[in-house]
Homo-oligomer: A and B are copies of this chain.
Amino acid sequence: MAAWGQRLAGVRGVLLDVSGVLFDGAEGSGVPIAGSVEAVARLKRSRLKVRFCTNESQKSLGDLVRLLQQLGFDISEGEVTAPAPATCLILKERGLRPYLLIHDGIRSEFDQIDTSNPNCVVIADAGESFSYQNMNKAFQVLMELENPVLISLGKGRYYKETSGLMLDVGAYVKALEYACGIEAEVVGKPSPEYFKSALQEMGLEAHQETVALSRGRLLFLPAGQPSRGLHVGARWSSDSAVHQNLLGRLDHPPPGHTSDQLSENLWEEV
């Protein structure tokens, strides 16, 4: 583990996932994970640059940041990399008019986008809006296109709410990919471009080293390969890990996992 400690000495910034790391969400609300408010404050006081990098696609960026502020976090919209604004840029650049298979909570992000006579589909974590009717409409739009374009905000398998595990957008992306015989373009983690733009937004170059704290795991983003996150230490993949607070992640690995020297070193850095 000594090698990791040495490498950590060169780390310049920390990318923090939001849902499941800072707070456990529920429809329209959430509960901060114990210790995470303090951890963010301490990180922001440290020498490390901090940015929030989320695949949140049920709430607009404004709503997400307001919720986090209400929960006590020191955070502003300018500190968050989120997939909806990134998607809007792509749509405009490529002249795409999407059928939006998205949650109503994020629809306002697409107010400036032409959705008439769709020539692509944008899919996000739509929750209850993943009805058969809506999925079938997306499917039919894609099947009528000569060159079907499916843009997905993230490709997560599932996420945790206070009520339990919930199917995420990735499952529905797989459904459309299989039905149409196509492959989606992912905007959001783990897309290389997405990590790269988050680094740029925090004023770091891809050749500078960064640590990402994501759900259930620590990623070390090696210089020059921001997408090739190496898993370091124990991969805390058990669901219980999601409940571990940020301080807990660093100081106390979940039961059944051995102490993680890297995590302790990172904490000492902070």
Using a CB–CB distance below 8 Å, which chain A residues touch chain B? 126-133, 135-136, 139-140, 143, 157-158, 164-168, 170-172, 174-181
CA distance A175 to B166 in the complex (A): 13
Q: A135-B171, A139-B158 are in contact. List 20 more A-B contacts (CB 8 A).
A: A127-B132, A128-B132, A129-B132, A130-B132, A131-B131, A131-B132, A135-B167, A136-B166, A136-B167, A157-B178, A157-B180, A158-B179, A167-B179, A168-B179, A170-B178, A171-B176, A171-B179, A172-B175, A174-B177, A174-B178
Q: Work out how many copies of this chain go into the complex.
A: 2
A sample of 23 cross-chain residue pairs with beta-carbon separation below 8 angstroms, ordered by A number, consists of: A128-B131, A128-B132, A128-B133, A129-B132, A130-B131, A130-B132, A130-B135, A131-B132, A132-B167, A135-B171, A136-B167, A139-B158, A139-B167, A140-B165, A143-B158, A157-B178, A158-B179, A167-B175, A170-B178, A171-B176, A171-B178, A174-B174, A175-B175
CA distance A180 to B176 in the complex (A): 17
Please name the residue on chain B nearest to A131 by beta carbon. Answer: B131
Residues of B within 8 A of A157 (CB): 178-181
CA distance A7 to B135 in the complex (A): 44
CA distance A130 to B129 in the complex (A): 11
* Distance in Å: Cβ of A183 to nearest Cβ of chain B: 13
CA distance A165 to B128 in the complex (A): 23
A171-B178, A179-B171 in contact; A143/B129 too (CB < 8 A)?
A: no
A171-B175, A171-B176, A178-B157 in contact; A139/B165 too (CB < 8 A)?
A: yes
Please name the residue on chain B nearest to A134 by beta carbon. Answer: B132
Please name the residue on chain B nearest to A128 by beta carbon. Answer: B132
